[in-house]
Homo-oligomer: A and B are copies of this chain.
Amino acid sequence: MGRDFNEILDLYEKGEKFYLYTGRGPSSESLHLGHLVPFMFTKYLQDAFKVPLVIQLTDDEKFLWKNLTVNESKRLARENAKDIIACGFDVEKTFMFSDFNFVGGAFYENMVKVARCVTYNKVVGIFGFSQEDHIRKISFPPVQAVPSFPSSFPHLFSGMEQLRCLIPCAIDQDPYFRMTRDVAPRIGCQKPSLTESRFFPALQGESTKMSASDPNSAIYVTDSEEEIKKVNKYAFSGGQDSAELQRELGANLEVDVPVKYLNFFLEDDDDLEQIKKGYGDGNLLTGKVKNLLGDVLSELVKRHTRARAQVTGDG
């Protein structure tokens, strides 16, 4: 789903430019595939449209919600940044920043402008804060709102204050951007457009979400080849209970987690179609499909690890 996604694509076809904004709350040491998916999608968009991208690392948010120290929040932001860089964004067109390092100047001005348009009752309605919540939670939403406005980045978009913004994000971030779209015209800014992804499912199936605190739910970018074999044990299968039944009835592709993952990570569309057909017909067994996925994920994690090792931490 999205908000004004088609509109921004139409405008782009007419020659109007836009930029991309996405982000990450650095709450854990290393990412899992569910974290990586929106960034891979964002990279796809950047490659397809050749547009600038800003990536916000909300280390201040994690300081507030996770009760970390400032230094620990900033350290996690740096570590997560390496994983994000390893996704291969166009370095000429990408600006990644941590809130603790970057808030100020034009960015702070926009924060204050947005905050003046939003009452306490409004944020309570959107985010469900209580009166015992600290005032920094209540005032955090503008921090996530303002990267939607090019005027927050004068060093990138000077003189382009009406440039449109497209935000690829997970659907749980929608409340922030509903608020942002509400405020934008009141402070003379363009509403950002959104393309929202559902959560990448946990190994346990569609209705679950990869969790950094349950290692059996997720594949981490730091998992070894051995650890990736948890796919065989934990990935929810749409295949039948026995080989005989599977050959007879075939797999239910709608609920099969390995197929969902392959849908995303297998690059060759013909290979994917062949697997889905054979598996659905019953010619391919569950174990075979899980092994195929294991190979794809191992390759992905190896490629990521190599790319991450080349991130120097300078600059």
Q: Which residues of A contact B (CB under 8 A)?
A: 60, 63-64, 70, 99-105, 108-109, 112-113, 115-124, 129-136, 138-139, 141-142
CA–CA, A94 to B136, complex, Å? 30
CA–CA, A256 to B103, complex, Å? 51
Chain B residues, CB < 8 A from A102? 104
CA–CA, A118 to B64, complex, Å? 12
Contact of A115 among B99, B101, B123, B134 (CB under 8 A): B134
Say yes or no: A119 contacts B133, CB within 8 Å: yes
Say yes or no: A139 contacts B115, CB within 8 Å: yes
Say yes or no: A101 contacts B105, CB within 8 Å: yes
Chain B residues, CB < 8 A from A70? 109, 112-113
11 new A-B contacts, CB < 8 A, other than A70-B113, A101-B105, are A64-B116, A70-B112, A100-B108, A100-B112, A115-B139, A116-B134, A119-B131, A119-B135, A120-B131, A121-B132, A135-B142
CB distance from A100 to the nearest CB of B (A): 6
Across the two chains, which residue of chain B brings its CB closest to A102? B104
CB distance from A187 to the nearest CB of B (A): 10
Say yes or no: B133 contacts A120, CB within 8 Å: yes
Give the interface centre of A64, A104, A117, A135 by most chain B CB atoms within 10 Å: A135
CA–CA, A108 to B113, complex, Å? 17
